[in-house]
Every structure is written in structure tokens, then in C-alpha cells.
Amino acid sequence: MLQILDIAKPFGDLDRPVDAETERAVTRWLYTEARLLDAERYQEWLDRLIDPEIHYWMPDMETRRRDDPRGTFCYGEAAYFDDTHKELTIRVRRYNEPSAWADNPATRHAHLISNIEVNETDVPGLLAVHSAFTNVRNRNEADQDIIHGRREDVLRVVEGGFRLVRRRVFIVQNVLLSKNLNTFF
Amino acid sequence: MCEGSECKGAAKGRPDMKPVYPKAGSYPEFATLVNRDNAQVDRRVFVDEAVYQAELRQIFARAWLFLAHESQIPNPGDFIRTSMGEDDVIVVRQRDRSVKAFLNSCPHRGNRVCMVDAGTKARGFICNYHGWSFGIDGGLRGTDGKVYEKDEHFEKAQITLTPVAQIDSYKGLIFATFDPDAPSLADFLGPFTFYLDIMLDNDEGGTEFIGGAIKSEIDCNWKFPAENFVGDILHAFWTHQSGAQAILGGGVDLGKRYDELAFQASVYGHGIETNLDKVGNTRTLGYPELVDYTFDLVEKAKDRLGDVRSRAIGAVSSCTVFPNFSFLPGQNTFRVWHPRGPGKIELVVWTLVNKNAPDHIKEMYRKGVMMTFSPGGVFEMDDGENWEYSTRVNQGFVTRQQPLHYALGMGSVDLDRDLPGHIHKGSLNDANQRMFYTRWAEFMQHDNWTDLQNGETAPPEKSVKVAAE
């Protein structure tokens, strides 16, 4: 496997910024993704933006001492998401069911994306993209969940745009301060 | 301060720092909130602050509570931080391989001495406030600076982190209680261990937790999830229709032999409901190879567990150990619903596997539990809101005067089946939930373990014999 696609590996120094035109294109792609997720257009998100080789990982963030060799998160341990295309498809299938009660009545979503940095990698056609997010979900009258975090994405350059091939999602919460995660990040 | 002749180990004038274990009381007015005759539960048990404080005293300060799996702390100095009720606790492996547990609070000013979720090979715990340091045995080792050493009122030897009153384990699961008078863990579980063995002893080599814990908050009373797992498979067909469709492409299926096979069993408020269909729960994890593994395990386990229990290993089933420790056979999710006030819980979930299972099978359990019974899981996702609104609506003064209906299967007691505990026919039944709340009422009522262990929820005589065989 290419090192850049290894889900357990962090990006190295992000010191190879792409040209302005590519950065604009990636930024547009990220905003499009956020808009699709806000609108709960999950099937379209999967079909248009996600690469068949996707590895989508959001680990549990443990509180550990700084000198603990395990660190805050560890691939292969507990995670909220550790999905291939097959698992993402199952999740999307649930959203498409009319009896997905946690989504009926509909949740109101806002995916805010910022801190976008787009870098070249050693592999032509793959870009290393860092971004930060604020995810707001509001349901019923006053149920509100806000999650902040960062993402480390690898985008594959394809005809007419990009496909997400690797995503690492790191939230800032230890105890998840929400009853569920009925969204994608 | 030290007073009278009770004081041991502290010289005159030195503060007596012996652990204080609370005494239980009796709350007969709260016990009547569970109406056995009408199979009704008064909604005040879910929202009333006074009831909640009584629960912390009567239940969480007395019952044996789940702390950890032995596999989480294999080596001396390995530790995890958890809760017993709302009390923060450190569980740590000792040099002699035994396990101790202490309140996570410095006896000096009360600050936590451990801020992390877990760690390995700790030599001790040091309070960040004044640098008091404690060994992994809980004893005070040192203080920052020399001022204490010169103070004749200071006696290091009699100062420790407050230990739990009793700690013990059952087949890998470590439990503890704050009550020195509590019966042994074996007596607290009673013949319910017969059913725990479905998951804990279905193959040689024992079990382990894999992959750490996932923690989340749900704004519900702790009893709603506990009663859900003690015997509410009914909800699966409606609540989890979407998850079942997503993974199985169809609804939850209890099969043709439901009437013949399915039952609920209850001992001291602990309860299991099961359908004995072999793989119904395992199938929902979405990996056909895991279903094959479970079919093989069911055959192999017949010698160890017999026909009934081996069929339960992967069946549509669920279980709660009173008060707040639950698991799902076949889906292998183990969890504690820690109370955080009458209207909030912290849910901690782990995945249990047989130690001797192949690595790729363990990995399927890890991923399968994540896909189903974690906050983003396609089943668990739809549970939280139900429990939140079941709790929250009772802020309504008139709403909370209305009783709740727990009367399904009132005439379903099964006196013939040769199984330990109170047996009821069919898993679609409120029987175990009635027993759960009866146990709750027993804890509210009684200030002593003689009455607690000999009430309505105690195992019928025949069951003790079966379990002993």
C-alpha cells in the first residue's frame, strides 16, 4: 500500500502547497461535500465524491498521559468509523429507510469547513488535504449537538474533479457529548 | 478527628483517616413506586432528584458493580479509571497480580489523583495539587517538600486512597462494592452465572476485551437502557427496523421455533431474554464468516454448556446484570450505563471476544460492534432518542402522575422448564423488567442484605440445584 493511503499514518510536514487554481478546486469540492451532507444527500455523496477504495476512519480519542506510548488514538482500537465503501454503503442504506427514527423528523445539519490546506504528495494524482470542521446538528425543538474536529483527507484527482480515498477524522471530545452520530464528517 | 476507643493506628491528636463506607437506609415510600400487582411503574423513579439520591445510597453504594475485564489490565501497574455510580474509581493491577480499586480522590484536598482514562506500568498516582503521591496499592508514599515529615500530627502509614470495600472477579469480569456487609460476588450473582457463562465460558481459553472503550452521553435515566437490555427485545422490531433493513435487507426474524424455544430468566433482578436461534444476533454484524464461526462454536460448546446455552451464544438475546451492566450475546457488546443525575448517563461500551478466536474473527467483532452498537452504529443510533424522551417528558407534572404499563406476559410464568431462576415463556415479555423493578424496590426498601437476598427476586429453590449441577 502507498504510505500516503495508510490510515494509521499521519501526514508529514504540509510544506508542498499546490498552486492557487488547484487549491480553489479542492476548496470548491469540500464545500460541495458539506452542502450535500447538510442536505442529507448521502447517496449522492457516496456516488459522486467517494472513491471505491475509500478508508474512512474516526477513532475514539482517549485521555492519556503525554508520556504514554499509546497516544491519544491508535489504529485498530475503538473507533466511531473504520469504514470501507461497503460499510459506508450500509450506513447510507439506513438513512434511506423511512423508519430511521433518529432521522425522522429530519435533523437540521450545518457542516462548516475551514483551515483548508492543500498539498502535493509523492504520488502524482493524490493530494493531501487538511481541514477543520464544525458540525452542528439540531433536532426537534432544542436538541443540539456541536462537534469540532480536524480532517486529514487524501483526494484522488479524477476526470472532472476529485474522489475521497482516505479520511482521518479527529474530534476534540473524549466522552462523545451526543447520543448518536447520525451524520458524516 | 480521632475520638474514643474505636480509633486504631492513629496516635492521640492525629486525624483518623479510616475509610468511611456509607450505611444504607430504608425508603418504603419509594419502594411503593413499583406496583407489582398492577405491573405499573411510577414515572417519578425516572426524574425525581430525591429518588436518584436514594439510588446512589441504596443501590450504587451497595451492589456489586462492574469495573473492568481482567484483560484490560494484564500487568502490574496497568490501570483504568471508571465509575461506581457517580464515584470516580481507579482499578489497578498489583505486583502480586491481584487487583485493587480506590476512589480517585486525594485524602488531602480531594482532587483527583488520576486524570487519564487508562495507562500501563504505572508506579503510582500523584496528585497535581500538593504532590501527595500514592503507590499502586493506594498507600501514601510521599508528599512534596519536607514539612509533613517534621509534623508529629502526620502519620503517613495510615493515609491511603479509599479502597472499595470488596473486590472480586467472575470469569474475567472484575466487580466491586462499597459495602463491607455485601454478600460475596458469587452470592450476589447467584445462579445467574449459569447464563453469564453463555458469553464468558463458551470455549476454552477465556475471554478478553478488544479495542478499548467508546464513551458517550445520553440524556436519559439509567434505568431505561438497563431495563431495555434486561428483557426488551420487543423494541427491536420497531426501533431497529431501519438498521435491520440496512444490514440484513429485512426485518429482525425470530424464526419458526420461537414459541417453543424463547424464554426470559431472572435472578435477583439480573435478567436475560433469549430466542435460542443460534445466530440471530451475530447475523446483524453483517459478516457471513462470523455467522459460520458462531455455528461452529454452538456445536463445539454443547459439551461445555449443554444444548440450551450453546444455542444462546449468538441468538437474538440481551442481558443486564443488576443494576447497570449489560451485554448482547452474539453481538458481543458489553456496556455500563453510569448514572450522571436522574436525567443523564455516561455510556461506556467494549467488545468481548474469546481469546482463542482467530485474529480476523476478532477484527470482525470489533468492526461489527462499531457498525451496530456504538454511537454511529445503525442500531444504537435509534435507541438514544427513545430513552431521552421517555425520561424528559416526565418533567410534565401531570405527565409524571400517569403510570407506565409493564404488563406484557403477566400469565407467562414457566414452572416446568429446568433452568435456574424465574423463567417466563417467550422473550417478547415484560417479565424480566417487572423483576428488575421489583429488585429496585427491594433495594429501596431494605437496609440489610438478609432481606435483600431473600425477597421475591431471589432464585426459586429448584434453580439453585440446577445451577449447582
Q: What's the pLDDT tens digit per position in B244-291?
A: 999 999 888 888 899 999 999 999 999 999 999 999 999 999 999 999
State the Cα angle at B364 between B290 and B227, rounded to 5°: 85
Predicted pLDDT at B147: 82
Is there a domain that residue A145 lies in?
yes
Minimum-distance CB partner of A101 among B239, B346, B370: B239
Instruction: Tell whether the model's pLDDT for residue B300 goes beyond 90.
Output: yes
Summarize the confidence of residues B419-428 as an average pLDDT.
96
Answer left, alpha or beta for residue B145, where phi above 0 means left and psi between -120 and 50 means alpha.
Answer: left
By CA distance, what is A140's nearest residue in B? B385
Is A64–B117 a contact, with Cβ atoms under 8 angstroms apart? yes
Instruction: Tell whether the model's pLDDT for residue A115 goes beyond 50.
Output: yes
Is there a domain that residue A70 lies in?
no
How far apart, in whole angstroms, are the C-alpha atoms of residue B211 and residue B72? 10
Instruction: Tell whether the model's pLDDT for residue B462 goes beyond 90.
Output: no
Instruction: Tell whether the model's pLDDT for residue B5 goes beyond 50.
Output: no
How far apart, in whole angstroms, are the C-alpha atoms of residue B61 and residue B48? 19
Summarize the confidence of residues A135-152 as an average pLDDT.
97
Is there a domain that residue A184 lies in?
no
Instruction: Give chain B positions within 8 Å (CB) of A184.
Output: none
How far apart, in whole angstroms, are the C-alpha atoms of residue B384 and residue B404? 19
Contact B123, B111 (CB under 8 A): no
Is there a domain that residue A97 lies in?
yes
Mark whether B235 is an active-site residue: yes
Mean pLDDT of chain B: 93
Is there a domain that residue A69 lies in?
no
Q: Which of B252, B336, B385, B393 to mutate to test the interface with A (most CBs of A within 10 A)?
A: B385
- The answer to whether residue A119 neighbours chain B at the CB level (below 8 Å) is no
Distances (CA, A) of B262 to B310, B314, B322, B436: 14, 13, 22, 19
Counted across chains A and B, CB pairs separated by less than 8 A come out at 127
Is there a domain that residue A90 lies in?
yes
Give exposure, A13-49, as e/b (b: 16+ Cβ within 10 Å). Answer: eeeeebeeebbebbeebbeebbebbbebebeebbeeb
Is there a domain that residue A182 lies in?
no
By CA distance, what is A61's nearest residue in B? B214
**B22 confidence band (pLDDT: 50, 70, 90):** very high
Range of the domain at A101: 16-64+76-171
Class of B190-468 per CATH? alpha beta
Mark whether B359 is an active-site residue: no
Summarize the confidence of residues B139-158 as an average pLDDT.
83
Candidate list B16, B88, B130, B203, residue with the active-site label: B130
Torsion angle, alpha carbons of B333, B339, B343, B344, to 10? -60
Q: How far away is chain A from the Cα of B64, in angstroms, using its nearest Cα? A: 24
Is there a domain that residue A94 lies in?
yes
**A18 confidence band (pLDDT: 50, 70, 90):** very high
Q: Could you tell me which residue, A155 or B11, shows the higher pLDDT?
A: A155
Contact B420, B267 (CB under 8 A): yes
Rg of chain B over Cα atoms, rounded to whole angstroms, equals: 23
Instruction: Tell whether the model's pLDDT for residue B468 goes beyond 70.
Output: no
- Domain residue ranges of chain B, discontinuous segments joined by +: 64-181, 190-468
How far apart, in whole angstroms, are the C-alpha atoms of residue A113 and residue A127? 18
Q: What's the pLDDT tens digit per position in B170-204?
A: 999 999 999 999 999 999 999 999 999 999 999 99
Q: What's the pLDDT tens digit per position in B94-136?
A: 999 999 999 999 999 999 999 999 999 999 999 999 999 999 9
CATH fold of B64-181, please?
Rieske Iron-sulfur Protein (2.102.10)
Predicted pLDDT at A14: 85
Instruction: Tell whether the model's pLDDT for residue B9 goes beyond 70.
Output: no
Predicted pLDDT at B145: 72
**Three-class SS of residue B340?**
coil
Mark whether B422 is an active-site residue: no
How many independent structural domains does chain A possess?
Answer: 1
Comparing CA positions, the residue from A129, A165, A121, A166 lying closest to residue A28 is: A129
Comparing CA positions, the residue from A12, A3, A19, A10 lying closest to residue A118 is: A19
Chain B residues with CB-CB distance to A under 8 A?
115-120, 211-219, 238-239, 241-243, 245-247, 286, 346, 350-351, 366-367, 370-371, 374-376, 378, 380-382, 384-386, 388
Please state whether beta strands A161-171 and A50-59 pair in parallel, antiparallel, or not at all (unpaired): parallel
Mean pLDDT of chain A: 96
Predicted pLDDT at B463: 45
Q: What is the CATH number of the domain that holds A32?
A: 3.10.450.50
Q: Is the ipTM of this complex over 0.90?
A: yes
Predicted pLDDT at B12: 61
